[in-house]
Amino acid sequence: MQITFLGTSSGVPTRSRNVSSVALRLPQRAEVWLFDCGEGTQHQFLRSEFKSSQIRRIFVTHMHGDHIFGLMGLLASCGLAGNHQQRVDIYGPPKLNEYLNACRRYSQTHFSMPIKVHTVEPGLVFEDAEFRVVCERLEHRVPAYGYRIEERDRAGHFDVDRAKALGIPPGPVYGRLKQGEIVELPDGRRIRGGDLCGPPVPGRKLVYCTDTIFCDRAVDLASQASVLIHEATFSHQDADLAYQRLHSTSTMAAQVALAAQVNQLIMTHFSPRYAPGNAIELKDLLEEAQAIFPNTLMAYDFLTCEVPRPVEKSLAVST
């Protein structure tokens, strides 16, 4: 699992930061899942290594423009490219489908690939054999949801050499043993698959929370996450603005991470007011958060990180 930040500004883009969007790459299945799609996201795609044809799922947190204004353009471009044949599933709050239908109607846009919009409610959003996605209602001025992506645990390493030493012939039986089944061999021996496998490999957990003020539901959603991506629109010194606009400060994001006992916090969705040279700069927000939760990073556009497994201690970051 690899995350890339395509936009890390709040409200409006700046010269160095686009508005909200995070891409989750699943290399084992050549898929990209997108979380929010602010204006200009398709341009960020062109500057990245992603291909729009790999987009399979898009998760929208809420209906504010800096999180959805790029959605229609991205979908239209995918269709015009003609190389996107598989269905794109879009998950989001009420009115999302109505918004997209209105955009299509008034712009007379036709998508060449199938689109399915799912209205989310707190609870299970999606699951398959490898992943499970749940959402929870956050605290914002409009209905807003955070998402938790859980990778299912995998069977431990299968000891092929030991299996051969026991005289177990290679073939389909190995697959059954890898799954922990008890297999009876032609000579009557019963072999427990669990005896030939190492401990299960725990799945990773990624949580995405924006936009919201501090709330207990965010803590519950983020519990024991490998990585928590949380908005930090304001500095602690501007907490009054955060309460007025129902956004988080850097210290609120850190408090969620601390209470949820996550492995890593990555802050995003920064107000443009903290530009270099101003009285408060982004580096001050990072210091505020790290005073509470030391394992905190500050996202920037095109920051790419591998989501670590629970046994790992830190992210592998590339630029």
Pairing of strands 227-231, 205-209: parallel
CA 40 from centre of chain:
19
Number of continuous H segments (helices) and E segments (strands) in the chain: 10, 17
Q: If you classify domain 2-154+201-318 with CATH, what class do you get?
A: alpha beta
Please give the pLDDT value at position 117: 97
- Mean pLDDT, to the nearest integer, of 93-119? 93
The residue ranges of every structural domain in the chain are 2-154+201-318, 160-196
Report how far residue 115's alpha carbon sits from residue 195's, in angstroms, rounded to the nearest whole number. Answer: 46
Report how far residue 3's alpha carbon sits from residue 77's, in angstroms, rounded to the nearest whole number. Answer: 22
- If you ran DSSP here, which 8-state letter would residue 208 be given? E
Q: 159 versus 233: which is more confidently predicted? A: 233
pLDDT greater than 80 at residue 144: yes
Please give the pLDDT value at position 10: 96
Q: CA torsion sign, 12 to 17 to 18 to 22?
A: negative
For the annotated catalytic residues, the residue numbers are 66
What are residue 34's DSSP bridge partners? Answer: 23, 58
Q: What is the pLDDT of residues 33-53, one digit of tens each?
A: 999 999 999 999 999 988 888
